[in-house]
A and B are shown apart, each in its own frame.
Chain A
Amino acid sequence: MTKYILKRIFLMFPVILGVSFIVFLIMSFTPGDPARLILGESATFEDIEILREEMGLNDNFFVRYFNYVKNAVTNFDFGNSYTTKQPVTNELFARFPSTLKLALGSVFLMVMIGVPIGIISAVKQYSLIDRISLVGALLLTSMPAFWFGLMLVLVFALRLRWFPATGADTIKHFILPCFTLAAAMMANLIRMTRSIMLEVIRQDYIRTARAKGVKEMTVIYKHALRNALLPVVTIIGLNLGGLLGGTMIIESVFAMPGLGTLTIESIRMKNTPTVMASILFVAILAGIINLIVDILYVYIDPRIKSQYAKN
């Protein structure tokens, strides 16, 4: 089994490399001269040229890419921010915790609320709860998460004053943002959990369980749920990447000091190294999360587990 895990980890590196290449390629289309940006409008032509040489901006694309990767991998150096002149990694690590908390909190809420609703919807198909949750899910997928966030802020922060509208200092600050992000992703999870559960309940082995005299509750929780869990975990895993992307926009709704707002500010200020590094960081994080989900899957599905146990 460790062989499988190692293999998956190995496979991740070319993907990360590929991702870094794509992001670097996209960012290389940025118009404007970074050296001029750093030195300001009043810089002389010569000063700019000197800085360009220093920064290696006159090298061709592949040389620049190679150097970038080399610095990143050997020295953990992703360049310096054009604006603060400090290593980009400092900014990244300062901003990362908020984003992480937002992401984790959202996943937690999404799973804790979404999966049970999906299951209940399936078990009590066509009931009132089912209809309400389907309509709710439809509405949630049809609205932009950030608008939902704005509405929540309007009602709960500005009018009712139960929660703060911006910032990321206390847990209270995270409730509305996490709920917003969770709600956006929950809709899909509810629908998929419901349809997976419905399918599982129709399986023959459920009929066998009932024919044994198993209590209906037990049929649902022990027999049906465990089989439904596998595809549900896959769905959650597939959505995690999108969740990370979503944190970017939600952070700006709630003015949270995280990677998302860092990226947006840096884009505005044409601070390419920071933009590049933070996009790369999030993309790599998404890759790692997918890997973890893959590995988790091996532990949950006995069919795959036994395949590797015997080998």
Chain B
Amino acid sequence: MTSVDNVENMPIKVRPATKKRSQIKAIAFRFKKNKLAVFGLVLLTVIFMISILADFVVDFDTAINQNMQVRLQPPSREHIFGTDQYGRDMFARIIHGSRVSLFVGLISIGISLAIGVVIGSTAGFYGGRIDNVIMRFMDVLLAIPQTLMAISVVAALGPGIRNLLIAMIVSSIPRFSRIVRSSILSISGQEFVEAAKACGTSDFRIVARHIIPNAIGPIVVQATLNMAATIIAIAGLSFIGLGIEPPNPEWGSMLSEGKAQMRYYPHLVVIPGIAIVLAVMGLNLIGDGLRDSLDPRLKN
């Protein structure tokens, strides 16, 4: 439900390719100055580290072993985040649950981005008939709201992590294709590309040294913001039972399980939610920070 489609209209900041290294330094400098963006980066790194090192922090078994004697306990010293209705340690579940969200998010964005880049750049670069056909097709796909698309894929294939991944990839490809294509089109149309062609630069060189460096910016911003939306989507699908299957811990399914007991045991619902908010907020802050660093004019 997060809408990330304003990046299409973002002006592409253009510099000749020779200044690329100092460009990156300038962007990094502006990013560092943005305290919120840095905070987001730190936040996300921490969460990433936790998910990678999950097994070292706490056993996976702790996350799934049921123990009805200690069920529904509020946060305490033995169970930092309390226990759920099956006596499972919430802390362990949150830690291990981070893996699903982050990795499914990362992989699905990575793959859909790669596919989107191929589709979008083919359409953008070749133009004409090919462009038309591809984009009409994308328009049809985009006519289906993203959430709905994901739901229908999982509806057809069934729950589970593999199908969740497929659903996330399929529902993200059209958007990425569109962004990549419009980035490439708007850069290709600018005068410095014409100038490069007038100097006799080969097509390949133009793409590699002029088009791609300028296109990367908005695409990275979009990817970051899309990943944030994907994490929310994963939680949503798991919440309605179409995502990760029990007993695997996942923040969204923890919410649906905890819902029934929410009234007297709010920690079951509050804590996984906060985990989601932190991860997504980190990504949003990074994405916004990147967007501001790439073109500071947009800020004011």
Do A and B touch, yes or no (CB under 8 Å, in the complex)?
Answer: yes
Residues of chain A at the chain B interface (Cβ within 8 Å): 15, 18-19, 21-23, 26-31, 138-139, 141-147, 150-151, 153-154, 158-159, 184-185, 188, 192, 195, 198, 235, 238-239, 241-246, 248-249, 252-253, 263-264, 267-268, 275, 279, 282-283, 286-287, 290
B152 and A23 within 8 A (CB): yes
Given contacts A26-B152, A158-B262, contact A283 B144 (CB under 8 A): yes
Which of B144, B152, B154, B235 contacts A286, CB < 8 Å?
B144
Residue B259 at the chain A interface, CB threshold 8 Å:
yes
User: Interface with A: B81-89, B179-187, B276-284, which one?
Assistant: B276-284
Bound state CA distance, A145 and B232, in angstroms? 9
Q: Which residues of chain A come closer than 8 Å to B140, judged between CB atoms?
A: 15, 18-19, 21-22
Bound state CA distance, A80 and B295, in angstroms? 55
B155 and A267 within 8 A (CB): yes
Closest residue of chain A to B288 (Cβ to Cβ) is A138
B145 and A286 within 8 A (CB): yes
A14 to chain B, nearest CB (A): 8
Residues of chain B at the chain A interface (Cβ within 8 Å): 1-3, 5-6, 136-137, 139-141, 143-148, 151-158, 228, 232, 235-236, 239-242, 252, 255, 259, 262-263, 266, 269-270, 273, 276-277, 280-281, 284-285, 298, 300
Bound state CA distance, A252 and B237, in angstroms? 11
* Interface of A: prevailing SS: helix
Bound state CA distance, A30 and B298, in angstroms? 46
Bound state CA distance, A252 and B236, in angstroms? 10
B266 to chain A, nearest CB (A): 6
B273 and A143 within 8 A (CB): yes
List 6 extra interface pairs beyond A147-B277, A245-B145, CB under 8 A: A18-B136, A18-B140, A143-B276, A147-B255, A153-B262, A263-B155
B156 and A30 within 8 A (CB): yes
A262 to chain B, nearest CB (A): 12
Q: Which residues of chain B come closer than 8 Å to A245, judged between CB atoms?
A: 1, 145-148, 151
A142 and B263 within 8 A (CB): no
Q: Which residues of chain B come closer than 8 Å to A242, judged between CB atoms?
A: 1, 3, 145-147
Which of B136, B236, B259 contacts A249, CB < 8 Å?
B236
Given contacts A22-B140, A138-B281, contact A146 B145 (CB under 8 A): no
Of B153, B242, B259, which is in contact with the most chain A CB atoms at under 10 Å from its CB? B259
Bound state CA distance, A23 and B144, in angstroms? 9
Q: Write 28 A-B pairs (CB below 8 A) sorted by A numbering.
A: A15-B143, A19-B143, A19-B144, A22-B141, A22-B144, A30-B157, A142-B277, A142-B281, A142-B284, A143-B276, A144-B236, A144-B239, A145-B236, A146-B236, A147-B235, A150-B273, A158-B262, A159-B263, A195-B298, A238-B5, A242-B147, A243-B1, A245-B148, A245-B151, A248-B147, A264-B241, A264-B242, A279-B144
Which of A19, A142, A150, A151 contacts B280, CB < 8 Å?
A142
Q: Which residues of chain B come closer than 8 Å to A275, judged between CB atoms?
A: 152, 155
Bound state CA distance, A185 and B1, in angstroms? 7
Closest residue of chain B to A30 (Cβ to Cβ) is B156
A27 and B152 within 8 A (CB): yes
Q: Which residues of chain A come closer than 8 Å to B141, judged between CB atoms?
A: 22
B139 and A15 within 8 A (CB): yes
Bound state CA distance, A188 and B229, in angstroms? 12
Bound state CA distance, A15 and B142, in angstroms? 10
